[in-house]
Amino acid sequence: MVRREDGAVNSEIALDIGAGKTLVATVTLESAEALGLAPGAAATALVKAPHVILAVE
């Protein structure tokens, strides 16, 4: 995990997926704390197809 930005209710989590690309997800603040998500921590992303938003450069 490369970045965690906490809001009042949710946390934005950024994962380095290689080749200079980053995957960003939003989880509840409670979940981020319970999972111990912090920069440098190992994390795995599981993606549900209906929840994907793609952006291109």
Strand-pair category, 3-6 with 21-28? unpaired
Residue 32 lies in a domain: yes
Residue 43 lies in a domain: no
pLDDT at residue 3 greater than cutoff 90? yes
| Domain of residue 9, residue span | 3-38
Residue 26 lies in a domain: yes
Helix (H), strand (E) at residue 24: strand 21-28
Whole-number pLDDT of residue 30: 98
Residues 6+ apart with CB under 8 A from 42: 1
Residue 13 lies in a domain: yes
Structural domain tally of the chain? 1
pLDDT at residue 57 greater than cutoff 90? no
Residue 20 lies in a domain: yes
Tell me the per-residue pLDDT of 11-47, one tens digit each, with 9 for 90 and over.
999 999 999 999 999 999 999 999 999 999 999 998 8
Residue 21 lies in a domain: yes
